[in-house]
Structure formats: C-alpha cells, structure tokens
C-alpha cells in the first residue's frame, strides 16, 4: 500500500475484526485514523494495541452508534466542526445474523446498522468529502448479497417472520446498490470523489459471533477454512488506496467464488446492478434517515 501521510480516514467498527486491520494498515502507512466505534473504551483499547505495534500516523477514538440515527448525526457534526477535509470513509461496521431486533429508529437491526446508518453517515460527511481532492468512500458488502433478488420494502421493520440470513443478505445488497448509485450521482457532478465497494471473502472475525457453533463449524468446512483477518481486510484497503481501484466497482478475493485470495474486481449480482432498484432504495433511505445528499 502506498504512503497515506497527511490523509484523514474514518473507519467504522475499527476496534475489532476487519475494521481493526483496515485502521491498523492505514495508521502504519501514515494516515490520521479516526476509530469510529460504538464503545469508546474498546476504541481506546484498540488504539493502544495499534500504538504498541507502531505506525507512522496518528489515531483518534470517536463515538458512533450506527443503530441510532441521532448518534450518527452527532458524530458527523463533530467531525464537520473539527476538520476541513476527509480523504477516506470506510463504511465497515456491521452485524450478522443476530437475534431478531430493531434499531432505536425502528428498523430491522441488520438493515438499520449495516446500511441505513452508513447511508446517513456518508450523507452527513459529504461536505468534507466533496472538497477533498481524490477522496474515497468504501462500503463493505458480502458475497451473501447474491442470496436475494431484491429488497422487500414491506419487511424492513420486521413486519414479516424473521429470517436472519435473508435480512443480512438484504442489508449487504443495499450496501452495493448504495455504493454504485453514489458513484453515478458523483459522476453527474464532475466531482473527484470515488465510491466503491468491497467484500472480505470468508474471513476469521467476530462478525460470526451470533452463528450457532454447529452452523459455524459446518460453514468453515464448506469454505475450506477461513482467511486470517488481515487478509480479509485487503480488498477494502485496495478499494481505498490503490491507484487502479475505480469508482462504481466491487472488489473481493480473487479465488474461486471469491472466498479466498487477494484483491481483484468481484462480480455483483443482477439485483445489485439494477439502476431502478438503486434509485428506489436511495429515495427510501433519504426518507427513512431524513438525510438528503447535497452535491
């Protein structure tokens, strides 16, 4: 990865898993990394671990709870007051197959945290991103987005019987639709901002903490093992820093079915490439979050 000296980066969910490895790599490369976490104590603990490992950049912990749109707004406003520019926004934080539940604002947890919280965050921070030459927004998705053919707008507040895997897949489909649609809108303005997406393949992280042990063990065998967390972070780091990474594209491991390997362009599903669906989701998200993007 090239030097990131002088760049300002936000990584959501930076205290653990892939987010930790993304933040650590950027810190090592010289960036000022804002560790945007739901628990400030855990953010501080992660910061201290990174400092012990050493890096050329600087670190800052900050509080954000993506399950609360008021917390997202407060975090963003703090950044708008303190900074004049923002080079990288890594929309990484997420939750996978938890028990049925809703965000404070009434949305199914996975859709609310994985997608709506990041949609609102990106919109709030657009003023900083738009005036930073070459800024990038990287939104984390998953190969699981291939499991669904679209978004059921009548089931985003747990109106129907809960299917944890389906709801996870919907949230990750939404993330890709958002990322590609954001790039379309950027290109209409002539801005230098880039929006792309990435997925980690099958990676060892605590994202799977809600999976029953037997299901987890079966999945690991089916996938022929898991990659180490640092390797799962590489597609997002590639999307965020490589001169070859392009807006509107999706990156993941280059191995069979995108499960293992090193960064390469990945294939999106036909549902994720649907422009009409992306525009519909965008309208829904603006209404749901109260955040309208001003380019």
State the Cα torsion 255-260-261-265 to the nearest 10°: 60
| DSSP one-letter string for 150-195 | S--TTSSSS-S---HHHHHHHHHHHHHHHHHHHHHHHHHHT---EE
Contacts of 215 (CB under 8 A, 6+ apart): none
Q: Are 19 and 94 in contact (CB under 8 A)?
A: no
Active site (catalytic) residues: 168
Query: Contact at 8 Å (CB) between 250 and 198?
Result: yes
3-class SS of residue 108: strand
* Among the listed residues 179, 168, 273, 266, the one whose alpha carbon sits nearest the alpha carbon of residue 211: 168
């Amino acid at each position: 990865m090239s030097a990131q000296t002088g760049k300002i980066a936000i990584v959501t969910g930076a205290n653990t898993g892939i987010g930790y490895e993304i933040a650590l790599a950027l810190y090592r490369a010289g960036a000022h990394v804002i560790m945007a976490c739901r628990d400030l104590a855990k953010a501080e603990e992660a910061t201290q671990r990174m400092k012990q490992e050493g890096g050329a950049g600087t670190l800052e912990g900050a509080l954000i709870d993506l399950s609360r749109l008021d917390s997202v707004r407060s975090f963003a406003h703090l950044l708008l007051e303190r900074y004049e520019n923002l080079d990288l926004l890594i929309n990484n934080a997420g939750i996978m197959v938890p028990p049925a539940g809703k965000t404070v604002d009434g949305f199914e947890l996975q859709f609310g945290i994985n997608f709506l919280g990041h949609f609102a965050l990106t919109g709030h921070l657009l003023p900083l991103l738009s005036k930073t030459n070459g800024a990038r927004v990287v939104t984390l998705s998953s190969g699981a987005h291939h499991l669904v053919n679209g978004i059921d707008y009548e089931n985003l507040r747990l109106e129907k019987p809960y299917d944890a895997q389906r709801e996870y897949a919907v949230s990750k489909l939404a993330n890709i639709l958002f990322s590609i649609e954001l790039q379309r809108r950027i290109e209409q303005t002539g801005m230098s901002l880039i929006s792309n997406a990435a997925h980690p393949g099958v990676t060892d992280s605590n994202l799977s903490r809600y999976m029953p042990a037997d299901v987890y063990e079966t999945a690991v065998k089916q996938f022929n093992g898991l990659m180490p967390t640092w390797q799962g972070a590489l597609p997002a780091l590639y999307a965020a820093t490589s001169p070859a990474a392009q807006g509107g594209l999706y990156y993941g491991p280059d191995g069979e079915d995108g499960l293992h390997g090193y960064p390469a362009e990945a294939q999106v599903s036909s549902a994720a490439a649907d422009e009409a669906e992306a525009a519909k989701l965008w309208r829904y998200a603006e209404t749901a979050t109260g955040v309208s993007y001003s380019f």
